[in-house]
Amino acid sequence: MEITETHAFGDVFTANEFLSSARQLGCLVAIDDFGRGQVTPWQLLRMKVDIIKIDGGFVREIKENISGGNSLDFLIGFAKCVAPIVVVEGVETRTHLIDAMIAGATHTQGYYLSQPTLLNAMVSDFRASFDGTRCK
């Protein structure tokens, strides 16, 4: 379950009750667009989340602003203190992918890797890639 940072809860206690209920249903909990919204570091340290998704603006900022790389490094380092999975969104070029990997992202997401795809199409493509010719 993804919760965008701009719509995250103001009350950490209420947030954790909700997130706990989601986990009981078998959901992983992700904070989306981290770095652009309203969740403070203090709140995030007290929320129990599984995935932090860093807003793609930070990977694009590296080429536009000399401190952009430092910002991405900082956000990923902080996010790793909170959640085991850190995704950098907005990876649209090979350079973005390399920058995210160097900064320490555990996962990346964006058009460079794949456009948004329906689950059925993704599963079909995955199965087709293992048509028996590769699995001997």
CA distance linking residue 53 with residue 106, whole number of Å = 10
Q: Is 2 helix (H, G, I), strand (E, B) or coil?
A: strand
Confidence of residue 76 (pLDDT cuts 50, 70, 90): very high
pLDDT in tens, 78-122: 999 999 999 999 999 999 999 999 999 999 999 999 888 888 888
Helix, strand, coil proportions of the chain in percent (round to 5)?
50, 15, 40
30, 4 contact by CB (below 8 A): no
Q: How many beta carbons lie within 10 A of that of residue 66, not counting itself?
A: 9
Domain parsing of the chain, residue ranges: 2-129
CA distance linking residue 31 with residue 51, whole number of Å = 6
pLDDT attached to residue 2: 76
4, 37 contact by CB (below 8 A): yes
CA distance linking residue 5 with residue 32, whole number of Å = 6
DSSP 70: H
CATH number of the structural domain 2-129? 3.20.20.450
CA distance linking residue 30 with residue 123, whole number of Å = 23
pLDDT in tens, 7-46: 666 667 777 888 888 889 999 989 888 888 777 788 888 8
Average pLDDT value for residue range 50-79 = 82
What are the backbone angles phi and psi of residue 78, rounded to the nearest 5°?
-65, -45
